[in-house]
């Protein structure tokens, strides 16, 4: 790659512009970790640990079992689980069998899961032994191609005494009954041999994962991600994190072989948690703390704070709502969070006030990045240190990645530096395409200078140092009397108010200006405020057309399972209300 605008003084020292070697099976990172660090801990769950050698052994047995059930290369297989220690064993086991992982949101209703299983043609599904999750899976497989159902119980992944007491007192989740023919995970692992089949994997062209996206904007689409898509992203993340992390006396590098402990708080069925946490901890041979329910504890989220302190977590990969939950937790000062060194944030804009508060309380550094499900997910990342990162940006294009800012109408004309347009990305992490949706592919891909660029649907520009500044989602743009009002900018100002925990801004119909700005505000616990107070606050912060005409206070705002505040849900509620 020729030197680009972003390869300047802020590019991390020692990090190459390009890498090679990602044209191999994704499961090779587990094999390598088990070979080089067999006795190092990979997963931690309620004090129970599994080494890399143990995880590989189980993954090999899962692969052996799947082949015995008639699974062939390219067959999709669903994983309908929260963040349990079974997850990496099943994920890598499917790949070792030649199958394609289909990661499913464990909070799905039966109809949603049914659509996903039927759309991809899943042949098998792994589900948790739980009254709700298993019951949903049983309903969801009706009318699908699923022939094999494997039930995963957590008892065998608990220390002996906890497992015994849990059984005696009924505290271990378990479905009321199991359907005939459905198999138990422990049984299939015990019966299978640790002998996966020999595979001829084309890492660049063969799918490793079908990951569904777009459920909040329309019918979900399955993004087809290859082995090389995911592995290139993991390897690039590893390179970026080799510069010092942390603040003051705490700078460390992400070294291999158990030097770090990752907090598995983001769901692994989503690209952000899967790539940046489950897979990256594997390639680094680091520990991974399994957090199946981030809201656990009294008050909610206390369990996460306990895990950070107990297991001396050093790396946190999370979304803004998770960091907000940290800083707004009433018991945060009772926990020692000083082990945290470096933190990544993405999926939504991270308010500057939250960054300041989190870093003050932990002594860690947060670096923002940006990407999408279709991009495996990372296409930009801030340097992982204080000297080179740039707050307010999502960083610079990733290794092997080229980004252009193009016109909003055609997506073909590159715009001058500093001018807002749609962000288009090219690189080894860009998906193969959508599952069985060639029309959708045509909408999002453009050939520019002989290369296939992906249109992200996000608006932004390059600053003078080659950092990407995201202005907003293309569809979230609010046009007030002909002027463009960007929700992110308005939300950023509102987050500076000391009483704000979460905020979302949407456009609502207005007879005079076409659209007007409305803000939804969730206050911090114990706080009270008035609409007039916030109106006055905005006067000093925002131009007239950007100021909210309406402010609505809510006890909570709708968020996706990965922590994005769902503006669309709020907008749809407003439109429906105004029809009446």
Read off the pLDDT of residues 11-26 as tens digits, 9 standing for 90 and up. 988 899 999 999 999 9
CB 339 within 8 A of CB 308: yes
Exposure of 426 in the CB half-sphere (CA atoms within 13 A):
15
**Cα 365 from Cα 389, distance rounded (Å):** 10
Q: Look at residue 217 in the predicted model and tell me its pLDDT.
A: 45
Q: Looking at residues 89-98, what average pLDDT do you find?
A: 98
CB 282 within 8 A of CB 29: yes
Give percent above pLDDT 90 in the chain. Answer: 73
Return the structure tokens found at 339.
């082990």
Provide the 10 A C-beta neighbour count for residue 248.
8
Count of helices and strands (H, E) across the chain: 17, 27
For residue 309, give Cα distances in angstroms to 305, 320, 327, 357, 506: 6, 20, 15, 18, 38
pLDDT band at 103 (very low <50, low <70, confident <90, very high): very high
Return the structure tokens found at 483.
């002027």
pLDDT digits over 43-53, tens only? 999 999 999 99
CA angle 9, 12, 14 (to 5 degrees): 115
CA angle 360, 364, 369 (to 5 degrees): 110
CB 404 within 8 A of CB 427: no
Cα radius of gyration (the chain) = 23
Q: Look at residue 167 in the predicted model and tell me its pLDDT.
A: 59
CA 215 to chain CA centroid, Å, is 15
pLDDT digits over 477-533, tens only? 788 887 778 888 899 899 999 999 999 999 998 887 888 999 999 999 999 999 999
For residue 373, give Cα distances in angstroms to 175, 322, 432: 32, 19, 12
pLDDT digits over 125-138, tens only? 999 999 999 999 99
| Phi (first) and psi of residue 504, to 5 degrees | -140, 140
Return the structure tokens found at 331.
């018991």
Q: Out of 84-98, 176-190, 255-269, pick the least confident.
A: 255-269
What sign for the dihedral angle of Cα 537, 538, 540, 544? Answer: negative
pLDDT band at 35 (very low <50, low <70, confident <90, very high): very high
CB 286 within 8 A of CB 261: yes
pLDDT band at 249 (very low <50, low <70, confident <90, very high): low
Give percent above pLDDT 70 in the chain. Answer: 95
DSSP 245: B
Q: Look at residue 248 in the predicted model and tell me its pLDDT.
A: 63
In this model, does residue 288 exceed pLDDT 60?
yes
**Cα 61 from Cα 78, distance rounded (Å):** 17
pLDDT digits over 429-488, tens only? 999 999 999 889 999 999 999 999 999 999 999 999 999 999 877 778 788 887 778 888
pLDDT band at 216 (very low <50, low <70, confident <90, very high): very low
Closest CA to 94 of 17, 198, 208: 208
Please provide the average confidence, as pLDDT, over all residues in the chain. 91
CA angle 268, 441, 224 (to 5 degrees): 30
Closest CA to 365 of 334, 344, 395, 335: 344
Return the structure tokens found at 29.
């990172």
Q: Looking at residues 43-70, what average pLDDT do you find?
A: 97
CB 405 within 8 A of CB 419: yes
DSSP 277: I
Most confidently predicted of 246-250, 344-348, 436-440: 436-440
Provide the 10 A C-beta neighbour count for residue 363.
17
Return the structure tokens found at 327.
């800083």
Domain 477-579 CATH class label? alpha beta
């Amino acid at each position: 790659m020729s030197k680009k605008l972003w390869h300047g003084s802020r590019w991390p020292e020692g990090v190459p512009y390009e890498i090679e070697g990602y044209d191999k099976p994704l499961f090779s990172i587990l094999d390598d970790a088990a070979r080089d660090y067999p006795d190092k801990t990979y997963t931690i769950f309620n004090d129970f640990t599994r080494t890399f050698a143990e995880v590989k052994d189980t993954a090999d047995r899962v692969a052996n079992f799947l082949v015995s059930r008639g699974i062939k290369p390219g067959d999709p297989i669903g994983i309908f689980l929260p963040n349990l220690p079974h997850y990496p064993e099943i994920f890598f086991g499917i790949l070792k069998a030649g199958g394609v992982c289909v990661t499913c949101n464990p909070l799905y209703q039966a109809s949603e899961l049914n659509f996903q299983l039927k759309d991809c043609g899943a042949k098998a599904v792994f589900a948790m032994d739980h009254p709700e999750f298993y019951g949903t899976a049983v309903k969801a497989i009706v009318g699908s191609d699923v022939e094999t159902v494997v039930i995963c119980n957590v008892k065998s992944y608990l220390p002996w005494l906890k497992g015994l007491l849990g059984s005696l007192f009924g505290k271990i989740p378990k479905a009321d009954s199991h359907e005939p023919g459905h198999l138990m995970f422990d049984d299939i692992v015990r019966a299978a041999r640790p002998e996966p089949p020999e595979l001829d994997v084309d890492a660049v062209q063969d799918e490793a994962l079908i990951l569904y996206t777009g459920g909040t904007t329309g019918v979900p689409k399955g993004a087809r991600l290859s082995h090389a898509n995911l592995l290139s992203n993991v390897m690039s993340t590893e390179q970026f994190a080799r510069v010092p992390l942390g603040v003051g006396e705490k700078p460390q590098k992400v070294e291999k072989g158990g030097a770090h402990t990752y907090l598995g708080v983001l769901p692994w069925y989503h690209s952000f948690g899967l790539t940046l946490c489950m897979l990256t901890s594997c390639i680094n041979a680091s520990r991974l703390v399994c957090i199946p329910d981030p809201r656990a504890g009294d008050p909610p989220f206390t369990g996460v704070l306990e895990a950070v302190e107990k297991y001396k977590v050093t790396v946190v990969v999370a979304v803004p709502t998770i960091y907000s939950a940290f800083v707004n937790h009433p018991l945060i000062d009772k926990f020692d969070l000083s082990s945290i060194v470096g933190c990544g944030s993405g999926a939504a804009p991270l308010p500057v006030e939250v960054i300041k508060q989190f870093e003050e309380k932990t002594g860690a550094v947060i670096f923002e990045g940006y990407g999408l499900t279709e991009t495996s997910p990372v296409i930009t990342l801030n340097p992982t240190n204080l000297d080179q990162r740039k707050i307010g940006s999502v960083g610079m294009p990733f290794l092997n990645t080229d980004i252009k800012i193009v016109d909003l109408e055609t997506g073909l004309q590159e715009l001058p530096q500093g001018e807002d347009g749609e962000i288009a990305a090219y690189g080894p992490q860009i998906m193969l395409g959508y599952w069985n949706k060639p029309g959708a592919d045509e909408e999002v891909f453009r050939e520019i200078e002989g290369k296939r660029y992906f249109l992200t649907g996000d608006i932004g520009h390059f600053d003078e140092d080659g950092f990407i500044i995201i202005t907003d989602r293309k569809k979230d743009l609010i046009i007030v009397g002909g002027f463009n009002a960007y929700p992110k900018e308005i939300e950023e100002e509102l987050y500076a108010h000391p009483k704000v925990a979460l905020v979302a801004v949407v456009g609502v119909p207005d007879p005079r200006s076409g659209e007007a700005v409305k803000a939804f505000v969730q206050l911090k616990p114990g706080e009270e405020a008035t609409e007039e107070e916030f109106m006055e606050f905005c006067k000093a912060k925002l131009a007239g057309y950007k100021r909210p005409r309406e402010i609505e206070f809510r006890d909570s705002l709708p968020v996706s399972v990965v922590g994005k505040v769902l503006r669309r849900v709020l907008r749809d509620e407003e439109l429906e209300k105004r029809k009446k």
